[in-house]
Amino acid sequence: MMIGQVLTFLVVVLFLIHEFEEMIMVAPWVRRQMRMESSRARNHYFVHRFADASQAVVVFMIGIEFLILAAVAIFVLITGWYALMIGFLVPYSLHLIGHISEWFIYRSYTPSLLTSVVTLPLCVATAWGLYVASDSSILEVALSALVMTVLFAVNFAMINVVEPKSIEWFRQYEAPEHA
């Protein structure tokens, strides 16, 4: 099913486009929010969580997410079970909606806003295209969406554990060695 393979690849591309905006903008945005007295986002948990994070930490965290998506995409391409990729697009689209809602909350640009607005309709269209092109049932898609949503939640919890440790690791790595 060539169209399913192309659409699976498109999901990876859309993910990377969105994540590049995060990699580029998270650290400068967080530093800016910390300096702005009038910032609505200044007290946001994300701002404080990443206040000490370097760009390397942000890229590292996104890299973990990319490896998960790459594993899912490879599995989907090998098995042809496109319901799993549709299932990925459900929590991922909710993630994009979360980024868009931040604009309404903070009334200013937040990292990933632009690519969320652009890629969300493409993700919905891709999910529909995968569904039409595959022989997946609604039940398979619903179960896949449930599994992927749980995986997203576990990944988010793990990131909250790994992120402070990675900040410390990068700090130690950057420090001159004591002889």
pTM for the whole thing? 0.83
Cβ-in-10-Å burial (0-12, 13-18, 19+) of 120 comes to buried
> Tokens at residue 48, please?
């404080």
**7 occurs within a structural domain:** yes
Q: Judge whether residue 178 has pLDDT over 60.
A: no
Q: Is residue 177 part of a domain?
A: no
Task: Kindly state whether residue 178 falls inside one of the protein's structural domains.
Answer: no
Residue 62 lies in a domain: yes
91 located within any domain: yes
Give, as one character, the DSSP assignment of residue 50.
T
Q: How far is CA 77 from CA 18, 45, 74, 82, in A?
A: 22, 37, 5, 8
Q: Decide if pLDDT at 179 tops 50.
A: no
Cα angle 58, 61, 67; round to 5: 135
Residue 168 forms part of a structural domain: yes
Domains identified in the chain, total number: 1
- pLDDT score recorded for residue 40: 65
The mean-pLDDT minimum among 89-93, 105-109, 119-123 falls in: 105-109
46 in a structural domain: yes
- Quick check: 30 pLDDT over 90? no
Binning pLDDT at 50, 70 and 90, where does residue 23 land?
confident
Which residues, other chains included, contact 164 with Cβ-Cβ below 8 Å and sequence gap of 6+?
Answer: none
Which range marks the domain in which residue 164 is found? 2-172
Q: Does residue 113 lie within any of the structural domains? A: yes
Q: How far apart are CA 129 and CA 138, in angstroms?
A: 14
Per-residue pLDDT tens digits for 35-87: 776 666 666 666 666 666 677 777 888 888 899 999 999 999 999 999 999 99
What pLDDT does residue 88 have?
Answer: 94
